[in-house]
Every structure is written in structure tokens, then in C-alpha cells.
Homo-oligomer: A and B are copies of this chain.
Amino acid sequence: MGDVFVAGAGMTRIGRRAESLPSLMAEASHAALAVAGLETPEAIVVAAMNPEEFLGDGNFASNVATHMGFADVPTIRIETATSSGAAALYAGFAQVAARLRRNVLVVGGEKMTHLSTPRVSELIGRSIDPYERSYGATMPALAGLITRALLARHADGAREIAQVAVKNHANAVRNPYAHFPTAVTLDEVMASRMVADPLRLLHCCPISDGAAAVVLTAETTAVRVAGIGQGTDTLAVRHRRDLTSFRATQAAARAAFAMAGFGPARVDFAEIHDAFAPFELISLEDTGLVPPGKAGRATLDGETALDGRLPINPSGGLKARGHPLAATGLAQIVECVWQLTGRAEGRQLDGRIALAHSIGGLATNNWISILESRG
């Protein structure tokens, strides 16, 4: 297996966007290609979760490639629910690692804000086990159930969870690409409208449009993909042994660190899948970045803040940067690359090792990617 590097990264502003999804993907892609100094990629990997139902368009890889002006560049589409962007990174990584291609453009995106919230919720809910869905389970409902189990274990849990949202919104204020660059207070989070008891509105990520792209290459650059790991779990949440940790994240972390050849202690900062604020706490522990049971305390103590020991979600995370589904796994990578190459002005971190963590479905198909700066 050959080494794989990142030659360029780009993304759109996340939010309510008027442009078509192929246009958003083209914007992100051409930004990444410009940084890479590459006119035409050898291949394209497209991540989109459900363009057929969000947009009414299929054959989406060919659609996007044609729209970008790359109708003659080989392209495939990858889908693993909400982690599709991370899965696409892996598919591109495999092509370059095998030296089937010298470079691959990986682009992910979604457009949802033109639909009603109930319709978006129904479409995202297709990721849930059909039997559980038949009893009315939605993503927020299942996340609420998990949050309840988490709260039962932590006396100060409600404040710990709310602080995740406070921190990530504070970070988003410094990110011009964020959907909600607005500060929120602990009281505002804890008093916001109930969505799925005990989950409140400000615990939940928004519905967002946007796209993100990365160019992978076999040529040495400043950022190497040190490891990618995938972990999976049963589609049905009721078949899990534990609700307050995700086996899929634990397996992904083991695989990613094994490939990288080092452990979580080397990680300087991370982008974590906080579609629901409590998931950041669960995932900090599942990745091994924080010892079991300590994530909430570390968050309240400011350890994961931008100026803390281990900054988490400098971009603002899914919570405040936004969560355009298949874009998200790649938007995390874009943030890590920008941080590692000194392009995150206003929120620039030190550090050489970055970790990105993406959750697919209700933690059925999770990914950990580790990037290493060679500067």
C-alpha cells in the first residue's frame, strides 16, 4: 500500500443555500483543485446520502461530474448514510493507496433546506431499522433515548451536555463557513424548546445545505492521511449491549490508530460528530481521546475549548457549522487540513495530528480518519 496525501481542500459556506447541489459540489471541488494546482482529477468520488428523494435526481455521480465540466473523468458514488463523506474519503484513499489513480477528487454534499422539516426527518429516518421505524422512531427520538441513558449515569450530565453546544457555537463564531456563527449560553441551551425529551433544540444540529471536497494524491504534500478506520454495528439500536457507547466508533478508532501506528495520546485536536450534543461526549470516550466517564467533566473544565488542552470541533461541529449529511465527513477533513496548514484564521490551532470522527445512521457505520502534518 502506498502513502496517500492531501493536495487540496475546499468547501462552501454551510447554511440555507439557493444554488443547486451540483453547483455547491462544483464550488467546493474547484476550490480544492485550485489549492492542489490540479486542472483535472484522474477520478472523482461523490458522496450524497439520498439525492433521489431530496432532489429527484439519480445517477448522481455522473450528474455532478458533468456539471463540473468533468464528464470524461471516471466517477462513482458512495453512501453510508450520514457518514457518506467519510466513506468516500476511504474509497478515494483505496484507489490512490493501490496506485490505481495518482490523484482522486473526493466531494460530498447535500441539499435539504428546500424541504419541510417533517419530510427531511422522514428521509433521514430511512437510516433506522425498519422495525424500530414502524414504532415511530426518528433520529432525535433514538438520540433522546440514548441521552436519557447517559444522564442516568452522570449527576451533572445536563450541564455537561449543554456545554458542548455552548463551546461549539463559540467556535463557529470564528468560522466564516458556519451555518450558525452565533454564541449561545448554557441557560439558553437548557431552556430551549424540547425536541425529544431530554433533547432540546439547541442540543441538535440544524438542517443544512453545503458541500466539501478534498484532493487526494500519491505525491508527497504537507498533510498525510496517516490512518482511516471503519467500525460498524447492528442496524437496530435494541440489539446493542450498551446505549452510552458506540461499538462502531470504538472499532473505527482501533483500526485507524493501528494503521497510523500510534495512539490517541498523540492527537492534538479533533472534529467529532456532534449531530446531538451528547454524542460528542460519548465519542470523546469511544475514540480514547478522553478516559471513560471523563468527557463531561473535561468539557465543563474547558479542556476541549479552542484554548484548551484538546480542542474539539474548532469548526463549530455539526451543531453550529452545520450538518449537510454527506458533506459533513469531508467538511471535518477540510477543517483539519486548514488547521494543519495554517489556513484557519481566527481559530488557528497548533498541532500536528488531527482526528475526524463521523457517524453513519444511528452509529451503524462510523469512521475515524487521522491526518498528520509533515511541516
- Residue numbers of A with Cβ under 8 A of B are 1-2, 43, 49-50, 52-53, 56-63, 65-66, 71-81, 87, 90-91, 94-95, 97-100, 123, 126-130, 230-236, 239, 247, 251, 360-361, 364-365
A70, closest chain B residue (CB): B232
Complex: how many Å from CA A140 to CA B252? 44
Taking the closest CB of chain B, its distance from the CB of A260, in whole angstroms, is: 14
Taking the closest CB of chain B, its distance from the CB of A316, in whole angstroms, is: 26
A65 — which chain B residues lie within 8 A by C-beta? Answer: 232
Which residue of B49, B74, B76, B127 contacts A78 across the interface (Cβ within 8 Å)? B76
Of the A-B pairs whose beta carbons lie under 8 Å apart in the complex, a sample of 30, sorted by A's number, is A50-B52, A50-B58, A52-B123, A56-B130, A57-B126, A58-B81, A58-B123, A58-B126, A60-B79, A61-B79, A61-B80, A62-B80, A62-B360, A62-B364, A62-B365, A65-B232, A66-B236, A72-B232, A72-B247, A74-B231, A76-B78, A76-B87, A76-B90, A77-B80, A78-B79, A78-B91, A91-B94, A94-B98, A94-B100, A98-B98
Which residue of B71, B99, B234 contacts A232 across the interface (Cβ within 8 Å)? B71
Q: Of A56, A90, A98, A239, which is in contact with the most chain B CB atoms at under 10 Å from its CB?
A: A98
Taking the closest CB of chain B, its distance from the CB of A286, in whole angstroms, is: 15
Complex: how many Å from CA A230 to CA B62? 12
Q: Are B91's CB and A62's CB within 8 A?
A: no
Complex: how many Å from CA A95 to CA B96? 10
Taking the closest CB of chain B, its distance from the CB of A247, in whole angstroms, is: 8
Q: Of A52, A90, A364, which is in contact with the most chain B CB atoms at under 10 Å from its CB?
A: A52
Complex: how many Å from CA A66 to CA B75? 28
Q: Are A230's CB and B74's CB within 8 A?
A: yes
Complex: how many Å from CA A99 to CA B259? 12
Q: Are A58's CB and B127's CB within 8 A?
A: yes
Complex: how many Å from CA A55 to CA B10? 35
8 further A-B pairs in the complex, CB-CB below 8 A; given A91-B94, A98-B98 = A59-B360, A62-B127, A62-B233, A63-B130, A66-B364, A71-B233, A76-B79, A97-B98
Which residue of B57, B75, B129, B231 contacts A365 across the interface (Cβ within 8 Å)? B75
A230 — which chain B residues lie within 8 A by C-beta? Answer: 43, 74, 76
A233 — which chain B residues lie within 8 A by C-beta? Answer: 62, 71-72
Complex: how many Å from CA A234 to CA B87? 25
Taking the closest CB of chain B, its distance from the CB of A5, in whole angstroms, is: 15
A60, closest chain B residue (CB): B79
A58 — which chain B residues lie within 8 A by C-beta? Answer: 49-50, 81, 123, 126-127
Q: Of A1, A126, A231, which is in contact with the most chain B CB atoms at under 10 Å from its CB?
A: A126
Q: Are A80's CB and B59's CB within 8 A?
A: yes
Complex: how many Å from CA A87 to CA B126? 24
Complex: how many Å from CA A166 to CA B97? 45
> What 8 pairs between A and B have smallest CB-CB spacing?
A58-B126, A98-B98, A59-B127, A62-B364, A97-B98, A59-B81, A74-B230, A66-B235
- Known A-B contacts A62-B232, A364-B59; the reply to A78 vs B80 at CB < 8 A is no
A95 — which chain B residues lie within 8 A by C-beta? Answer: 94, 98
Complex: how many Å from CA A150 to CA B63? 26
Q: Are B53's CB and A235's CB within 8 A?
A: no
A81, closest chain B residue (CB): B59
Complex: how many Å from CA A304 to CA B317? 58
